[in-house]
Amino acid sequence: MKSECEFPIHKSQEKSTLTMNSAIASGELCMACGLCCTGAIFSHVTISRNAYKRLPEANVSSTNNKIEMNFPCSFFQEGSCSVYHDRPHKCTSYNCKLVKQVISGETSLIEGKEIVDVSKKQANWLILNMPTLNYSNGDSLRSNLFIAHKLFNSRFKNTENPSFTTEEYEFCLNALDYVKGLAISFYTSSLLMKYNDLVMKMSSK
């Protein structure tokens, strides 16, 4: 006997196709992005011991009995994941804001790829213009942005009226614009308020 209150999963083939397409589009966007893997958003991800046993070549460090796989990920090669079908659970289960927007239909795949492209260009600019004394090729962009912020912010503690070059001010403005974009489309980092406060202090001098 049929229930009088059946759940209308799909009322039409058209709706079913749209739902399927959004799922496919979200996967395509993720594969075309890689910002998580390159260290542009995160500096590391905690993985299980089983994942490490499967991937012993991973660049890891141990903190408080946790295994952290460091970014840039050593398995992200030529713009894609070389261990995609065997990647850690944290990688398979994570969905950024933008992927969720594509799944819901709020953002199209084309729009999503355009947002990713802008963030990649911003990240590359920051890497190329990172303060020379602080930039570490082995560390993630996120880690380097924390180091750069610490350097600039320390001037306010050590000098009553610190001075900044035009290039340094431009770098901090672009860093703020970058992390604002991340907060809107990917992930809200503590770097957002750090660079917001830093730019405010620099602008008041």
Is 59 in contact with 70 (CB distance < 8 Å)?
A: yes
Question: What digits encode the pLDDT tens for the residues 118-128?
Answer: 999 999 999 99
Hey, CA dihedral for 171, 175, 178, 180, is it positive or negative?
Answer: negative
CA end-to-end span of the chain? 76
pLDDT band at 135 (very low <50, low <70, confident <90, very high): low
Domain boundaries, the chain: 106-203
Nearest to 63 by CA among 51, 45, 79: 45
28, pLDDT greater than 50? yes
Higher pLDDT, 139 or 172: 172
Which residue carries 């990688």 as its tokens?
91
Tell me if the pTM is above 0.75: yes
Residue keyed to tokens 């075309």: 32
14 has pLDDT over 60: no
pLDDT for residue 1 is more than 50: no
